[in-house]
Each structure stands twice: as C-alpha cells, then as structure tokens.
Amino acid sequence: MITSYNKLLKNQNKDFKYLIEYSNNDDVRKISWRIFDELMIHYDDEIVHFLCSWYCHMEVDDFEIFGYKCFYYDIDPMVCEMNKKITNNVINKDVVFDDIQINEGIIVNKFCETCYPVGKIFKGKFVLVGSDNPHLSCINQINSCQQIIDQNELTKIHYKTTIKGKHNYYMVIGCNQV
C-alpha cells in the first residue's frame, strides 16, 4: 500500500525529504494518533480543520480513511503545494491574519507553540496541542494545559493531558462557545 507519506517523499529533493521525514517522527505520530483517539471519544463531528497543518500525510492516512472530512490550512505555499499531491482540501492561508471562516466542525492545532492562540480568533470545538520546545520558531512556548486553556479562552474542558516525548506536549480538548 502506498501511503500519503510515500507520495510526499516521491521525487523530492533532499532538503524537502528531510523536512517530510522529520514530520513523521515518533512524537508527531504519537500526537496524531492521540488526537484521533480523543476526537472519537469526545466529538461526533465529521469535519476537522487542521490549522498550521504543515505536512498532513498522517492526518490524510489516519483521519480521512475513517470518514472525516479534513481541511488543512498552512501559510507555507511550498508545503501546501506538496500536500495537494495527497489531498484536495488544502488552503494556503495564514490562520491568524487572513480572513478565514470556520462555522462547523472541530478546530485542531497541533502546534500551539508556533502561533497566536487560535481560540482568540475562532469560536467552537478545539483539540489543541502545544509543546515546551525552546526552538526560535516557537514564539508561544507552552508549559502547561492551563496555559492553553487560558490563552484560547476555553470555557468547557473535556480532556487534558501531558504527553512525554522529545519535549513535553500539552493537549487540551474543549470549547470556547457560550
């Protein structure tokens, strides 16, 4: 079986292969599977919006095959172009500064440490994951589940946990609707 991961790797130069391979590391896989499990437990929605999606091969293989209709938003045009090889639902937009309307479904951000809190922009159901990664690109280093809850103005919490890996990852599932 040819996976989305293999499709992304096909005919890529070594720099892109490195990034794609990095996006398939143990921590990223563990988090993606955990998000899938928790979505199944806490929400009945079939539409999922992955904000700041980066390479979305895991979500295509792990979510879409089970009937989820997924949309992938990313600011990087090269990442979006590669993602279009494996799914049509790629939106090349900046989720913070571009006008994006999300009126239904679940909003997932696996990289809260790299952007402004999306709960201040969108209202609805969320699965949010952020890490304490000290890398320079991490402009919003996350150090607890409570930090995610506060930053995203979540009013109802369904689940929260810490996932150990190369860094500490904090996952919160909840809503900020009235």
Q: What are residue 91's DSSP bridge partners?
A: 73
Q: Which residues contact 19 (CB under 8 A, 6 or more apart)?
A: 55
Domain ranges of the chain: 4-175
What are the C-alpha distances in Å from 128 to residues 1, 4, 49, 94?
A: 31, 24, 12, 17
For the chain, the average pLDDT equals 91
Read off the pTM: 0.91
Say whether pLDDT at 5 is over 90: no
Q: What integer is the mean pLDDT of 50-67?
A: 89
Q: How far apart are CA 55 and CA 67, in angstroms?
A: 20
Q: What integer is the mean pLDDT of 1-17?
A: 77
Q: What integer is the mean pLDDT of 55-67?
A: 89
Topology at the third CATH level for domain 4-175: Rossmann fold (3.40.50)
Strands 125-131 and 168-175, how do they pair? Answer: antiparallel
Helices (H) and strands (E) in the chain, counts: 6, 7
Task: Write out pLDDT tens, residues 103-151.
Answer: 999 999 999 999 999 999 999 999 999 999 988 788 899 999 999 999 9
Strands 69-74 and 47-51, how do they pair? Answer: parallel
Q: Which residues contact 78 (CB under 8 A, 6 or more apart)?
A: 16
Residue 2 has a pLDDT of: 67
Residue 1 has a pLDDT of: 58
